[in-house]
Amino acid sequence: MLCSCKQDQPPRKLSFYYWRTTFSLSSRESQVLDKLEVKKLYVRFFDVGLSEKNAIPISKINFLTKPAVDVIPVVYIKNEVMLEKHVNLEKLAQQITSLVSQIQSYNDLPPTEIQLDCDWSLQSKERFLNLVDLVKKNSEIPVSSTIRLHQIKFADKTGIPNVDYGVLMYYNMGQIGIDNKNSIYDRAIAQRYIPFINTYKLPVKLALPIYSWGIHIENNRVVELLPKLTVDDFESAHFEKVNEMFYKVIKSHFFKGAYLKTGDLVKFEKIKANQLLEMIEDVEAHVAQPIDEIILYDLDQINFKNYENEVSLFEKISGMH
């Protein structure tokens, strides 16, 4: 029985990540937000990358319309930035808070919070944790951080950021490979990590995957990732279904910007509805406090196609029924 069905637990808040560079919702996306009474979107404002040993903002968001919900700015920081000793952390913290503030001001969005998204490593731990402290010092608003499963299990080694809360990213668990395992979600891998959640020294929200993608395989070798695919994309004379996960290319053609040759394979990875509910049940079994907010990655009507009735599923996830 799902924990969300307990009578004494109020429905969880349901939010979404928004990860496109232009903010504009389709009518379907707006409709889903309305039906689910979503109050908050975690919007990627920009990435921080490296150029000649300098940290620079990349792919800054452009708001074509003003969101009708609260916006939490997310800044994705590539780990290479944290590893580069040449990068001045005080200056970077100032640049991050300043650019977030500029984007909010320009688009008439009130300051709410800053979320830092970085898959920091043992080598970059000290610098990332320092950056978090500096961003907090520069901000009068809450600061949160994304957390990966390995950072929960090995918290003593990887460190715990000094943030108001963490968001456990419950996806991208396995290796992208040519086998029949799903790299987005692997329950066996997850269960090696989740028993450590109840000892983690930060309150956590839970981020779950609703996206899907294809992995282009040529001569038993991964060539590239093909994002934003759904099962409908394989309904063509160019593909032959091998099984639920693999499609064989039977006619060379260009596909989503990639050139697929006859004999190549596309491995299709997605998350089923029952797996999403399973994830919540597994995590809830190990947390000291019930999860109060679930964030779905990511808001895009393409991802809705993965589910027969996405609104009903998302309601179940939030515990609305």
Ordered by where they begin, the domains of the chain are: 3-211+270-318 (3.20.20.80), 213-269 (no CATH)
Report, as an integer, the average pLDDT of 145-169: 97
Report, as an integer, the average pLDDT of 123-138: 97
Q: Taking the model in full, what pTM does it have?
A: 0.95
Percent pLDDT > 70 in the chain is 97
Q: How confident is the model at residue 10 (pLDDT cuts 50, 70, 90)?
A: confident
Among 18, 198, 244, 215, smallest CA distance to 117 is for 18
Q: What pLDDT, in 10s, does the model give residues 68-111?
A: 999 999 999 999 999 999 999 999 999 999 999 999 999 999 99
pLDDT at 3 over 70: no
pLDDT value at residue 134: 98
Q: What pLDDT, in 10s, does the model give residues 248-307?
A: 999 999 999 999 999 999 999 999 999 999 999 999 999 988 899 999 999 999 999 999
pLDDT at 6 over 70: no
pLDDT value at residue 5: 44
